[in-house]
A and B are shown apart, each in its own frame.
Chain A
C-alpha cells in the first residue's frame, strides 16, 4: 500500500492531529447558535467517539469539517489543511457517512457506488469496478449488489453508505451513526470493521448516541452539549472521571452504613436496601467479614464499574437522549 501512514505527522503541521478546529462557530440565519467556539483535536490513528444529545451540534460540526457548511467564525483543519478551502486535496482521502446513507433508488447498489466513485476526480476509472466490488464485499453486500437500492432494507442502505466511504484507501473515516438501523449481528460486524480499519492506520471519527458502542471501539472521545464542547480526551481518562462505587445490598442499611464508615469507606450513602460508597483500598473479603461479624445480613456486595454513561451524566448533568 503506497498510502502514507496516518500516524505520520503532517508536514508543515506541528501536531499529529487529523482534525483540529479553533473557535469553530456556526450561527444559522435566524440567530440560532448551532456550534459555539469549538476547539476539537482528533489525534492521528485514534478511533474518536463524538458524543452528544440530539441537537447538540454534532452534525453541523461534521458538515463544517466536510466543507458542506461555511463556518461563521473560527477555523477547521482536516489532515493538516484548512477546510473548506483545501476540500479538493483533503476529501479524496476522507470517507464519510453523514446523517445516514443517501442513494439513487432507481440504480442498483453497484451502480450507486460507481456513480459516487465517478464523482471523485482522483479515482482511477480503470480500477473502478474492482474497487466497487471490493467495497461491496467488505460490507457484506456482494450478493445484493445488482438489486435496486430502493428495495434495500435500512440496514442494507447503511452498509452501502459505508461501502461508499470505503471505495478508496482513506486516511480518515467520518462515520455519523454508522450502526443505525442494523441488527445486533450487523452492529458487531461494523464494529469489527472499524477495528480492522483502525488497525490499518485509518483514523476513525465516529459519532454515535450509543455510549456502550463508543466504549467498545473508541480510544478517544469528545462530548458536546448545546453546541459547546464539554470535554475531550482518552476514553480511559474520561471514564476515570466517574468513580467506581462499592455497593452493598442488605436489609439492614443503617447498620451497614455505620460499619462501612468504621472501615474508612468514604462518601457512604444509604438508599433503600442499597448502601454505596467509594471502593475501599483493602480486600473486599475483609469488608464482607466485618459486615457479617457486626451482624449485618448481606445479600450482595460488589464494586460497580463506572461507565462512560456515568461520566457523561456527571459532565452534562442530564440523561443522554434529552434533546438539547
Chain B
C-alpha cells in the first residue's frame, strides 16, 4: 500500500479546494457583525455629515468655506460642487480615523481570538495557521476597502443633498466632466484604501505578539500616532520617506491634470514593502507560536 493510500484511507474526507473560502466568508461576516466594527463604521460615516453640515452653515452668508486656506484639502471647493466633499472627507479621515479603525480591527484579529480562547478551537478545527493568518489579513484588507467606501459613499450622499453637482475644476485648473470626476473619486477611494495596507500588516503583526486584543489595538494605534508625530519633526527628515504615512496625502495628485504619479507610486510601493515585511514577520511569529490561551 502506498503512503498516499494510507493518507486517503486515514483522512476519510478530502478537502475541496473551494471549501477553504468558507473560512474567509465566516471571517468577513464575523468581523462585520461585531458591535465594535459597526461603531467604527458609524463614526466614519458621520465624519462627512459633520463636515458637510459645517461647511453649509459657515457658507450660508455666501462667502467661501475655509476662507484662510485652513482645513482639509478641497474644503473651499465643496460649495461649488458636492463631489469635493468626497475628497475632503477622505483627506480628513485618512490621517487618523481610517487608520485607527484599521488598527483596531487588525490588532484584534489574532489577539482578540487568543484572548477569548476561540483561537485554539479554530486551530484544532483545523483552520491551519497559514490559512487562518491569510484569511485574517484578507479580512483586514477588505475592511480597509469597506471603511474607505463608507466614508466616500456617505460623503457623496451628503454632498449631493447639500450642494450642487456638476463639472469640476482640477487642481491644475482644467475643467473635467462630472462623470470623469466621479471616476477619479472612485480611483481616489481605491488609493486611500491601498494606503491602509501597511497599517493593516503592522497591526496584524502586533496582534500575533500578544493574547490581549486590547493591548494589540492600543499598541497599533499608539504606533500610528508615533509615526504621525515623527513625520512632523523636521530633524527626522531622513526617516520620513520610510514612514507608512509619509505619502498618504499624495492621493490629491489624482486631481491634477495630467495626473502626477511619482508620489502615488512611492506610496503604493511603501505600502507593499510594509505588507511584505510585517506580513512575513506575522507569519514567522504565528506559525511558530505556542498557543497557551
Residues of A within 8 A of B (CB): 2-4, 10-12, 63, 66-70, 79-81, 87-89, 91-94, 96, 98-100, 102-104, 106-107, 114-125, 128, 164, 168
Q: Is the CB of B19 within 8 A of A124?
A: yes
Distance to closest chain A CB from B132 (angstroms):
8
Binds A, one of B23-31, B169-177, B240-248: B23-31
User: Which residue on chain B has the smallest CB distance to residue A91?
Assistant: B126
Among B26, B121, B126, B127, the residue within 8 A (CB) of A102 is B121
Q: Which 5 A-B pairs have the closest CB atoms?
A: A102-B117, A119-B125, A91-B126, A118-B26, A119-B127
Contact, CB under 8 Å: B120 / A102: yes
**What 1/0 mask marks residues of chain B from 254 to 293 whose CB sits below 8 Å from any chain A CB?**
0000000000000000000000000000000000101110
CB atoms of B11 and A122 under 8 A apart = yes
Q: Report how many residues on chain B are interfacial, defined by Cβ distance under 8 Å.
A: 40
Chain B residues with CB under 8 Å of A102's CB are 116-118, 120-121
**Is residue B131 within 8 Å, beta carbon to beta carbon, of the partner chain?**
yes
Q: How far is the CB of B31 from chain A (nearest CB, A)?
A: 11
Chain A binding surface SS class: loop
> Which listed residue, B3, B22, B125, B292, touches A125 by the CB 8 Å rule?
B22
Q: B19–A103 contact, CB under 8 A?
A: no
B6 at interface by CB-CB < 8 Å:
yes
Complex CA–CA separation, A70 to B13 (angstroms) = 26
Question: How far, in Å, is A253 (CB) from chain B's closest CB?
Answer: 54
User: Is B238 in the interface zone, CB < 8 Å from A?
Assistant: no
| Chain A minimum-CB-distance residue to B30 | A115
Residues of A within 8 A of B122 (CB): 116, 119
- Is B120 in contact with A106, judged by CB distance below 8 angstroms? no
- Pick the contact of A92: B33, B118, B126 (CB < 8 A): B126
Chain B 1-24 near chain A by CB (<8 Å), digits 1 or 0: 101001101111111100110110
A-B contact pairs, 22 of them (CB 8 A): A4-B10, A11-B10, A63-B120, A68-B292, A80-B10, A87-B126, A93-B12, A96-B124, A99-B117, A102-B116, A102-B118, A102-B120, A104-B118, A106-B33, A118-B22, A118-B25, A121-B20, A121-B126, A121-B131, A122-B11, A122-B19, A124-B13
Q: Assess whether B292 is in contact with A89, with CB atoms less than 8 Å apart.
A: no
| Given A107-B33, A124-B19, A116 contacting B126 (CB threshold 8 A) | no
B binding-site residues for A, Cβ under 8 Å:
1, 3, 6-7, 9-16, 19-20, 22-23, 25-26, 30, 33-35, 116-118, 120-128, 131-132, 288, 290-292
Residues of A within 8 A of B25 (CB): 118
Assess whether A3 is in contact with B12, with CB atoms less than 8 Å apart: yes
Decide if A122 touches B123 in the complex (CB within 8 Å). no
Nearest CB in chain B: distance from A106 CB, A: 6
* CB <8 Å contact, A11 and B30: no
Which residue, A99, A104, A116, A119, has most C-beta atoms of chain B within 10 A? A119
Given contacts A11-B1, A63-B120, A91-B124, 18 further A-B contacts (CB under 8 A): A69-B291, A69-B292, A91-B125, A92-B13, A93-B10, A93-B11, A98-B124, A104-B116, A107-B30, A107-B33, A118-B22, A119-B127, A121-B15, A121-B126, A121-B127, A122-B11, A123-B13, A168-B13
Instruction: Select B125's contact among A70, A104, A107, A120, beta carbons within 8 Å.
Output: A120
A12 and B6 contact, CB distance less than 8 A: yes
B30 touches A89 (CB 8 A): no
Known contacts A88-B128, A121-B15; A11 and B9 CB within 8 A of each other: yes
Q: Select the residue from B15, B23, B124, B291 with max chain A CB neighbours within 10 A.
A: B124
Q: How distant is the Cα of A96 from the Cα of B7 in the complex, in angstroms?
A: 21
A123: chain B residues at CB < 8 Å are: 13, 19, 22
| CB of B123 to closest CB in A, whole Å | 6
Complex Cα distance, B126 from A106, in Å, reads 22
User: How many angstroms from the CA of A4 to the CA of B9 in the assembled complex?
Assistant: 8
Please determine whether B26 and A115 come into contact, CB atoms closer than 8 angstroms.
yes
The smallest beta-carbon distance between B285 and chain A, in angstroms, is: 13
Please judge, given known A-B contacts A107-B30, A119-B127, A124-B19, whether A68 and B290 are in contact too, CB under 8 Å: yes
Contact present for B9 and A106 (CB under 8 Å): no
Q: Give complex CA distance A286, B116 in Å.
A: 64
Complex alpha-carbon distance, A122 and B20, angstroms: 8
Q: Smallest CB–CB gap between B16 and chain A, Å?
A: 8
In the complex, A99 Cα to B121 Cα: how many Å? 11
Expressed in whole angstroms, the minimum distance between the Cβ of A176 and any Cβ of chain B is 11
Q: Which residue of A lies closest to B12 (CB)?
A: A3
From A11, A80, A120, A125, B126 is in contact (CB under 8 Å) with A120
Q: Is the CB of A67 within 8 A of B116?
A: no
Q: Which residue of A lies closest to B13 (CB)?
A: A122
Contacts of B34 in A (CB 8 A): 106
Q: What's the least CB distance linking B136 to chain A, in Å?
A: 12
A118 → chain B closest CB, angstroms: 4
> Is there contact, CB below 8 Å, between A68 and B19?
no
CB atoms of B124 and A67 under 8 A apart:
yes
Tell me if A118 and B13 are in contact (CB < 8 A). Answer: no
B124: chain A residues at CB < 8 Å are 66-68, 91, 94, 96, 98
Please give the distance in Å from A183's CB to the nearest CB on chain B.
23
A123 to B13, CA, bound (A): 8
Residue of A nearest to B9 (CB): A4
How far is A120 from B3 in the complex, measured between Cα atoms in Å?
Answer: 23
Q: Are A106 and B35 in contact (CB under 8 A)?
A: yes
A98 / chain B contacts, CB cutoff of 8 Å: 120-121, 124
Residues of B within 8 A of A100 (CB): 117
